[in-house]
Amino acid sequence: MSSTADHPTRIILVRHGETDWNRAGRIQGSTDIPLNDTGRAQARDAAERLVAEVTDAATVAVVSSDLSRARETATLIADRLALPLGPSDIGLRERGYGIAEGLDVTEFRARFGDTHSGEVPGAETVDEVADRANDALRRLIAASDSPDVLIAVAHGALIRAVLRAAASGVAPTDDARVGNGEWRELALTADGRLVAASTQH
Q: Is 109 annotated as a binding-site member?
A: no
Instruction: Out of 16, 124, 155, 185, pick the active-site residue.
Output: 16
Amino acid identity, residue 23? R
Rounded CA separation 163/42 (Å) = 22
List the catalytic residue out of 7, 48, 72, 94. Answer: 94
Q: Is 71 annotated as a binding residue?
A: no
Report helix, strand or coil for 160: helix
Is 111 one of the annotated binding-site residues?
Answer: no
79 is in an annotated binding site: no
Coil vs helix vs strand at 128: helix
Distance CA 12, CA 136 (A): 14
Active site residue 94: yes
Residue 124 is assigned to a ligand binding site: no
Using CA atoms, how far apart are residues 198 and 191, in angstroms rounded to an integer?
A: 20
Residue 183 labelled as part of a binding site: no
Do the annotations mark residue 21 as ligand-binding? yes
Annotated binding site for substrate: 15-22, 69, 94-97
- Point out the residues that are catalytic: 16, 94
Annotated binding site: 15-22, 69, 94-97
